[in-house]
Chains A and B, each alone.
Chain A
């Protein structure tokens, strides 16, 4: 076997690569969330353009109340904090506290969804009433879908952190960390959505 000057076959490096492998699943997830965020960015851009160039038609009804969405914002922000607490508890294998905080987080998510539903049913306009109504439902609906998915994932993690028998513990934190990142992302999107849709 002739050795080329450019090629240096480094045994030590090789073994270290083959046995240990940086965990890049979080990196992959973060990339995915950037992509997901771009979907929202597209929706926001469309909404802002409508606001700039498409006035509400004269007979159209489109008015939003603030109290319920403000409550929703608080619910989600608190749930981000409680999720973080669950993550910290998992690191020290405190399964009991971890599960408690997870449960609280999931319930907060559920409360958000219920309150969102209440808002939907009390609003004086429906999906196809006018452009702004459609945009409102599309944006909040797409976000709500994310929350639903997140709440489901939290429930699964809650089940998996049971001790003994659960798969998620301080040696296998990835499922919880991934869901946590996702949850923070969904909360962040909500804050932007709240500002753009309700406050602007």
Chain B
């Protein structure tokens, strides 16, 4: 069935929207504006989450809880985790880059449902503010980002309820986004463009959106039941009323294991875009990349109980989830080797974007190895809920996803602004981040192996020195933000003009002016059948001009 689009009406709405910087504060329907709204909003929450992390690391420089009272420590910890996951990484790797890039990649002028898109974004700032305001009004939730009952039922109810409400809103935003990406990638593709010709980020976003659409509603339902337990005193998850806490854990991890892939799959996609451009080589193993993304999506749904090996999980279940989890290492490993093979023998320009991408590869492999180790029950029962787990997932969510976010900002900044960033400041930013990050989190493996539990404000004095080491790393990470911010601010006004395609890239977003016009292309969208056709005919650097 085909319907004709009422073009005149769309055009009218668009021209009614504010122009210039004001449009970033409006209910804009332009996917590029929405992408930047996600990015900037996410980054502000990242700064807040980073302040909270600093508070945690200051507290942990001494074994006693002397900087923050214990209950405040718990609130800070909960807010830190929730903000970083739901307000920074998920909205940025999906919402920000997805909205900016996917319409270009499928050869469209906007997302499939522009209005839904704007709604999805505008759910985020209010729920973030709601979450943070709970700290000042009633005291924030204290039960960690996992909100395990009975803790979440017995800690002060108001903060927990606000936490639930804002996570529900953010989950809704995420589902709307996911529906939009699926429709855009599958249905809005330019005629003539085949699925297997799409840039890898599209596949990553398709996989991620499937994860979002199938798993986030389960979290929503679970949190509704939890809120009944808190306000109506039902007993779904309350053992003293005949309920079952383990059911909560199953439902929660059925969402939250896929959620870790919601944070990292898009990052895989972004790295796959960035590396070929700067090595002047095609992406190695395109087809295997696609299949491994889909394998990760499928396997991602059957590994959740590896978070519950010590929850009285029966032996057969432990065995099943150990095996399934270990299997995930296979597609993940394939992707790793494909990136290395892409770099191999390429003409690599070691600019900030590449440095951050390579940093990602290194950190992610370390996090992946500790992940496989954690999947083995005999090992996990000793280090579960210790700092070893904290080290594992920070290697992946920070060393992986956040490194890729920075890499992507360096790579696409000229696209968005038409100006170049300062490379020296960028490399300095990378050095500080890489050193600070590893200094902060590598020692935490040792802490965990030696038995320091996670989520506590006080610890055994024998751990003091290593904790202080970790805090120094955190300090360096905090400082590393300064050259980055300075670079962004001064380049916006004084950066050298980049031209339309400073990296001589072949993916479709570069085949237009930088910054792009409202409808992405003056004239027809190009049909890019070989987004990674670098080095095919000696002359891989064609100047693309767009008549303006």
Which A residues are within 8 Å of any B CB, using their own CB?
A: 1-2, 4-11, 13-14, 16-25, 27-28, 31-32, 34-43, 45-46, 49-50, 53-54, 56-57, 60, 127-128, 130-131, 134-135, 138, 142
Contacts and interface: CB of A to CB of B under 8 A. Distances in A.
B242 A57 contact: yes
A6 B215 CA distance: 38
Contact of A134 (B192, B234, B523, B525): B234
Q: How large is the interface on B (under 10, 10 to 19, 20 to 34, 35 or more residues)?
A: 35 or more
B147 to A, nearest CB: 15
Given A2-B543, A38-B215, A7 B235 contact: no
B423 interface: no
Contacts of A7: 511, 526-528
B299 interface: no
B235 to A, nearest CB: 5
Contacts, number: 157
B545 A1 contact: yes
Interface in B330-365: none
B234 A6 contact: no
A37 B215 CA distance: 11
Given A13-B190, A38-B215, A135 B242 contact: no
B431 interface: no
Given A6-B506, A13-B192, A20-B2, A49 B244 contact: yes
A8 B99 CA distance: 25
Given A32-B179, A39-B217, A46 B232 contact: no
Interface stretch (B58-66, B82-90, B136-144, B218-226): B218-226
Given A2-B543, A22-B2, A39-B221, A131 B214 contact: no
Contacts of B190: 13, 17
Nearest to B113: A28
Contacts of B533: 5-6
B496 to A, nearest CB: 24
A2 B545 contact: yes
B151 interface: no
Nearest to B533: A6
A142 to B, nearest CB: 8
A49 B186 CA distance: 36
A46 B234 contact: no
Contacts of B545: 1-2
B183 A45 contact: no
Contacts of A13: 190-192, 524, 527
A42 B235 contact: no
A89 B422 CA distance: 66
A131 B242 contact: yes
B435 interface: no
B416 interface: no
12 contacts: A7-B527, A13-B190, A20-B3, A28-B113, A31-B213, A38-B217, A39-B217, A42-B251, A127-B234, A128-B234, A134-B234, A134-B235
B179 A28 contact: yes
A130 B528 contact: no
A157 B393 CA distance: 50
B191 A31 contact: no
A34 B218 CA distance: 11
Contacts of B511: 7
Given A10-B527, A39-B220, 7 more contacts: A4-B544, A10-B192, A22-B187, A24-B183, A34-B214, A38-B215, A42-B217
B530 A6 contact: yes
Nearest to B197: A6
Contacts of A56: 242
Interface string B160-188: 00000000000000010011101100111
Contacts of A35: 175, 178-179, 213-214, 216-217
B5 interface: yes
Contacts of A53: 244
A50 B244 contact: yes
B228 A138 contact: yes
A168 to B, nearest CB: 14
B51 interface: no
B329 to A, nearest CB: 27
A49 to B, nearest CB: 5
Nearest to B234: A134
Given A9-B524, A17-B190, A60 B242 contact: yes
Interface string B521-539: 0011111111001000100
B463 interface: no
B4 A19 contact: yes
Contact of A9 (B4, B234, B241, B527): B527
B69 interface: no
Contacts of A41: 218
B183 A27 contact: yes
Nearest to A24: B187
Contacts of A39: 217-218, 220-221
A167 B175 CA distance: 29
A54 B251 contact: no
A25 B112 CA distance: 9
A25 B183 CA distance: 9
B243 interface: yes
A42 B219 CA distance: 8
B12 interface: no
A46 B251 contact: yes
Contacts of B112: 24, 28
Contacts of B215: 38
Nearest to A32: B179
A189 B247 CA distance: 22
B209 to A, nearest CB: 9
B179 A31 contact: yes
A2 B544 contact: yes
A87 B176 CA distance: 27
Contact of A42 (B2, B191, B218, B241): B218
A134 B4 contact: no
B236 A135 contact: yes
Contacts of B2: 20-23
A6 B530 CA distance: 6
Nearest to B212: A35
Contact of A127 (B179, B213, B232, B543): B232
A54 B524 contact: no
A46 B530 contact: no
A133 to B, nearest CB: 9
B524 A38 contact: no
